[in-house]
Amino acid sequence: MNRSMIIYVLGTVLKLTGIFLFIPVICSLIYHEQEGLPFFVTGLCSVGLGTLATLHKPENTVFFLREGCIATALSWILLSIVGAVPFFLTGEIPSFLDALFETVSGFTTTGASILPDVEAMSKTALLWRSFTHWIGGMGVLVFLLAIIPMTGGGTINLMRAESPGPSVGKLVPKIRYTARILYGIYMVLTVSMLIILIISGMPVFDSICTSLGTAGTGGFGVKSDSVASYSGILQWIVTIFMILFGINFNGYYLLLQKEWKKALSMEEIRAYLLIIVSATAIITVNVADRFSSIGDALTAAAFQVGSIITTTGFSTVDFDKWPDLSRGILVLLMFIGACAGSTGGGIKVSRILFLFKNTRHQIFAYLHPKSVRPIKMDGHTSDNETIMGIQSFFAAYLLIFVCSIFPLLACGSDLITSFTAVAATINNIGPGLGAVGPMNNFADLNCISKIVLIFDMLAGRLELFPLLVLFSPAIWNEFKK
């Protein structure tokens, strides 16, 4: 176990977090708010502690997937704790557990909030909430790999442990350049959205926060009604960009390389877009009688479908009051999620595709037991490691999901609230149904329920296994040696 390298990574994350905390300080200076001081002090302490932890770079910089999982899980826990401190120190979130819940929700791009009145928050705090989405969307360790030279064969294991999807590879030979390409695409899309929103009439501060929240597919807004009070044009802009950020970024890279045919033929992207179009059409028809025109129904349906499948969590209407068919479709979309290699959460479309392909493969095997017919995705045969990894993911996902529901039920939440609260957090969506619906929040849940959901948010963002590794006694016994 390369303990020194894990500590070095954690120290680097601390320094990076401290630097990030100076951004809301700038906001506080612009708007003359006193809340910037706790952010500055926390950032300074974080940079100082991180510097102490990285004074001596380890001689052995190579670490394997287990070290990558441990470093990733501990980094996200550390990131969340440090990020929560300013909320607590300013007094805007008096309970540290609530502050931690809000911060974990931000970094994991879940968007589940404990704040009853978002507009009562300072602009400094609102910017930090939205910025946590942007940091967590692509991943803090991917950002670290993009800007800091890290040698050794283990850097790909950091990206594999943090990046969403069943498999992660290099776009170019060097992992550092892969990280730079991903963040380059991420930044261009974010800035493009920001400019379009400002041109279309959204206030600058609102545009910044909305762009950061959309880019990370997180859903923290600056208004208590999310984005319902903005015009239909602005809602369509947000809808389009939510869908764009839910697309596999490998597709954008292929477009940059002018490999149009290869990009457009990606099975996952085609299935993702087909699901969005189909769900939007069905819901539009189903809720048409609740709106003054079919255009308004289409706007609301498209927005909520885009928001839920990409696990962004913005809302324009109280979809908890929609007909059962529409609510059922939205709950299903919670589980499907966005594409692998995007900033979205959920199970991922690629895994759902694999599930259908594997089922078809098993039926074919029963009919033709002597035949050999491999499972293929985009023309490539799936190897045993990928197949076993996806099957293990579904097993772990189901186990965590079921085990998370019962503590909420035991604490007094009803079945719909408990089920959708777990679904909304483990899939990093935000709003559920019932007491945690789009027009409500998670503030009334008790401490035990919040701790369970914090775990679910982290597990969902890290694709389960990096966090589960921390519960292995064998890992800690080896870490002590």
pLDDT at 173: 46
Mutual angle of helices 96-107 and 123-138, in 10-degree steps: 50
Lowest-confidence pick of 54-63, 280-289, 321-330, 436-445 = 54-63
Q: What number of other Cβ atoms are within 10 A of residue 120's Cβ?
A: 10
Lowest-confidence pick of 49-63, 138-152, 252-266, 402-416 = 138-152
pLDDT at 168: 47
Q: What percent of the chain has pLDDT over 70?
A: 90
pLDDT at 97: 96
185: nearest Cα among 302, 128, 263: 263
CA R_g for the chain: 22
Q: What number of other Cβ atoms are within 10 A of residue 436's Cβ?
A: 30
Q: pLDDT tens digits for 162-176?
A: 555 555 444 544 566
CB of 163 closer than 8 Å to CB of 142: yes
Domain boundaries along the sequence of the chain: 386-480
Coil, strand or helix: which one is 381? strand
pLDDT at 159: 57
Distance from C-alpha of 133 to C-alpha of 105, rounded to nearest angstrom:
8
CB of 225 closer than 8 Å to CB of 312: no
Token duo for residue 343: 């900033």
338: nearest Cα among 268, 284, 237: 268
More reliable by pLDDT, 33 or 154: 33
| Helical (H) or strand (E) element with 204 | helix 204-215
Lowest-confidence pick of 153-157, 197-201, 464-468 = 153-157
What is the value of pTM for the model shown?
Answer: 0.91
Q: Examine the pLDDT at 435 and tell me if it is beyond 50.
A: yes
Give the end-to-end CA distance of the chain in Å, rounded to a whole number: 8
The pLDDT confidence band at residue 61, using thresholds 50, 70 and 90, is low
The pLDDT confidence band at residue 372, using thresholds 50, 70 and 90, is confident
More reliable by pLDDT, 94 or 472: 94
Give alpha helix (H) positions in 265-348: 267-287, 294-309, 324-336
Q: pLDDT tens digits for 317-347?
A: 999 999 999 999 999 999 999 998 888 888 9
Exposed/middle/buried for residue 290 (C-beta within 10 Å: 0-12, 13-18, 19+): middle
Q: Examine the pLDDT at 273 and tell me if it is beyond 50.
A: yes
Coil, strand or helix: which one is 155? helix
Distance from C-alpha of 426 to C-alpha of 282, rounded to nearest angstrom:
26
Distance from C-alpha of 71 to C-alpha of 267, rounded to nearest angstrom:
33
Q: Examine the pLDDT at 49 and tell me if it is beyond 90.
A: yes
Distance from C-alpha of 426 to C-alpha of 337, rounded to nearest angstrom:
11
Residue 281 CA, chain-centre distance (Å), reads 26
What integer is the mean pLDDT of 72-77?
90
The pLDDT confidence band at residue 288, using thresholds 50, 70 and 90, is very high
Q: pLDDT tens digits for 292-314?
A: 999 999 999 999 999 999 999 89
Cα–Cα distance list, 27 to 128, 131, 416 (Å)? 9, 12, 40
Q: What number of other Cβ atoms are within 10 A of residue 328's Cβ?
A: 11
Distance from C-alpha of 60 to C-alpha of 378, rounded to nearest angstrom:
38
The pLDDT confidence band at residue 144, using thresholds 50, 70 and 90, is low
The pLDDT confidence band at residue 76, using thresholds 50, 70 and 90, is very high
